[in-house]
């Protein structure tokens, strides 16, 4: 099974900060890595697919990078609406998918 | 416009079988590159992928839950059904169904609102 490990588990930042969240796979997953944002009481929202591709409608301050085992999600300049929990998800094995444990981004 | 909606019981007793239905619109599960998945989230916990089914009827199941899960599709009704047997209080969670875009990087690009299922006697 492919395990996904996110870091940090939680993060405090201020509006306007640049923030990076990382996700590591237990084996190479090429670029089959997706990122989601989830706000309390809401369904997750797809931000990035294929490690680097911005989903339609998602602000350009969100970007993704990485391949193989190490990936990152960067928010260029935090906005108040960006405070949420972020999850990575591997889709390399199209028989079995895995989510990371989540990173909670809080206001400092 | 793609929409998905989960339906089913909100309360089940331990050892009972849970049946959830995902009713969708805006796409067809007979179209190549399309799938539907089920993901759950226990209160205060992370997302957990459970299962998915593709347009060609290929399926995937979480290894830890495989023995308890069944996913089926009814293309004519635009529905996907999740069956989970032998429910336990630890299965209390919000269950989401989501559109799976298998034509790109296998991502869940549209989600239902989720349905909270509580397992209690």
Contacts of A1 in chain B (CB under 8 A): 63
The alpha-carbon gap from B107 to the nearest alpha carbon of chain A, in Å, equals: 7
Res. A62 pLDDT band, cuts 50 70 90: very high
SS3 B68: helix
Mean pLDDT throughout A68-88? Answer: 97
Q: Which of A97, A98, A103 to mutate to test the interface with B (most CBs of B within 10 A)?
A: A97
pLDDT tens-digit map of A8-30? 999 999 999 999 999 999 999 99
Q: Please tell me the distance from the alpha carbon of residue A22 to that of residue A87, in angstroms, as a whole number.
A: 10
pLDDT at B16: 98
Tell me the pLDDT of chain B averaged across its residues: 97
Q: Please tell me the distance from the alpha carbon of residue B48 to that of residue B84, in angstroms, as a whole number.
A: 14
**pLDDT higher than threshold 80 for residue B52:** yes
Q: What share of chain B is helix, strand, coil (3-state, %, to 5)?
A: 5, 55, 40
Mean pLDDT throughout B23-52? Answer: 97
Mean pLDDT throughout A67-75? Answer: 98
Exposed e or buried b per residue across B72-103, where buried means at least 16 C-beta atoms within 10 angstroms of its C-beta: ebeeeebbbbbebeebeeebbbbbbbbbbbbe
pLDDT tens-digit map of B2-11? 999 999 999 9
Cβ-contact A87, A38 below 8 angstroms: yes
Mean pLDDT throughout A57-81? Answer: 97
Tokens of A74: 């960067």
pLDDT at B61: 96
pLDDT tens-digit map of B105-120? 899 999 999 999 999 9
Cis peptide, bond prior to residue A8, ω within 30 of zero: yes
The alpha-carbon gap from B61 to the nearest alpha carbon of chain A, in Å, equals: 6
Q: Do A87 and B46 make contact, defined as CB atoms within 8 angstroms?
A: yes
pLDDT at B65: 97
Mean pLDDT throughout B36-60? Answer: 97
Q: Please tell me the distance from the alpha carbon of residue B118 to that of residue B49, in angstroms, as a whole number.
A: 18
pLDDT at A78: 96
Q: Which of B2, B41, B42, B47 to mutate to test the interface with A (most CBs of A within 10 A)?
A: B47
Q: Which of B39, B43, B44, B107 to mutate to test the interface with A (most CBs of A within 10 A)?
A: B107
Res. A2 pLDDT band, cuts 50 70 90: very high
pLDDT tens-digit map of A79-107? 999 999 999 999 998 789 999 999 999 98
Contacts of A49 in chain B (CB under 8 A): 101, 104-105, 107, 109
> Who's near B26: CB < 8 A, 6+ residues apart?
B1, B2, B3, B110
Q: Do B63 and A36 make contact, defined as CB atoms within 8 angstroms?
A: no
pLDDT tens-digit map of B79-114? 999 999 999 999 999 999 999 998 778 999 999 999
């Amino acid at each position: 099974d492919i395990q996904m490990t996110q870091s940090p588990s939680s993060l405090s930042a201020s509006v306007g900060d640049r923030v990076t969240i990382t996700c590591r796979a237990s084996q190479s997953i090429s670029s089959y890595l997706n990122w989601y944002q989830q706000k309390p009481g809401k369904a997750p929202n797809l931000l990035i697919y294929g490690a680097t591709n911005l989903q339609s409608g998602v602000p350009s301050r969100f970007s993704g990078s990485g391949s193989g085992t190490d990936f990152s999600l960067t928010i260029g300049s935090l906005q108040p609406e960006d405070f949420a929990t972020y999850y990575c998800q591997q889709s390399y094995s199209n028989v079995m998918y895995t989510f990371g444990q989540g990173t909670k981004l809080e206001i400092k | 416009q793609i929409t998905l909606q989960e339906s089913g019981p909100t309360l089940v007793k331990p050892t009972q079988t849970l049946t959830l239905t995902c009713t969708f619109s805006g796409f067809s599960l007979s179209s190549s590159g399309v799938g539907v998945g089920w993901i759950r989230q226990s209160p205060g916990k992370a997302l957990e992928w459970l299962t998915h089914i593709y347009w060609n009827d290929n399926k995937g199941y979480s290894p830890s839950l495989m023995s308890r899960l069944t996913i089926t599709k009814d293309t004519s009704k635009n529905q996907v059904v999740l069956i989970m047997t032998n429910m336990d209080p630890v299965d209390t969670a919000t269950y989401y169904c989501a559109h799976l875009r298998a034509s790109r990087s296998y991502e869940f690009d549209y989600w239902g609102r989720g349905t909270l299922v509580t397992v209690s006697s």
